[in-house]
Amino acid sequence: MAPALAPGDTAPLIALPDQDGTERRSDRLEGKALVLFFYPKDETPGCTMEACAFRDSYPDLQALGAEVWGVSGDDAASHRRFANRHRLPFPLLVDAGNRLRKAFGVPSVLGLLPGRVTYVIDGTGVIRHVFNNLLDGPAHRREALDALRGLQAS
């Protein structure tokens, strides 16, 4: 696994299919910021709370000029069920083999459970904020909103 990426680092290229098979590419964001949240597993309580918090703040995140993409190692069918059940308005990327997770250096907990880390990446591809908290899923939304507000202010 690569070392954990930190604020100031350039994010690696993201090019993964979403739950509908559409390839999502970070090099096609046309200068928009990206909130990229890695989560352990579809339909688990913490991940559901986190995804729904991003859902509930999606208009605010968009108003701050950001796209939101969720990422886990679950397959497209699992992502589709999760997105449909909870009315998620943003794509969930299929990270087969956890290649993107490894490229970002997202740590595992006790070497077993995939970590929960959110990255706020500016329109030039530079990571501006990293938040790592496995237990408080909704805090990821608050951190992302605060980081985006900070980007707009600067």
Sign for the pseudo-dihedral over CA of 41, 46, 49, 53: negative
Do β-strands 33-38 and 66-72 pair in parallel, antiparallel, or remain unpaired? Answer: parallel
Do β-strands 15-17 and 108-109 pair in parallel, antiparallel, or remain unpaired? Answer: unpaired
Instruction: Identify the residue whose tokens are 């530079």.
Output: 126
Say which residues have a Cβ less than 8 Å from residue 31's Cβ, sequence separation at least 6. 123, 124
Q: Which of 5, 11, 47, 88 is catalytic?
A: 47
Q: Is 114 helix (H, G, I), strand (E, B) or coil?
A: strand
Give catalytic status of residue 47 as yes or no.
yes
Question: What is d(CA 154, CA 152) in angstroms, rounded to the nearest whole number?
Answer: 6
Residue in 102, 152, 108 with CA at minimum distance from that of residue 132? 108
Active-site residue set:
47
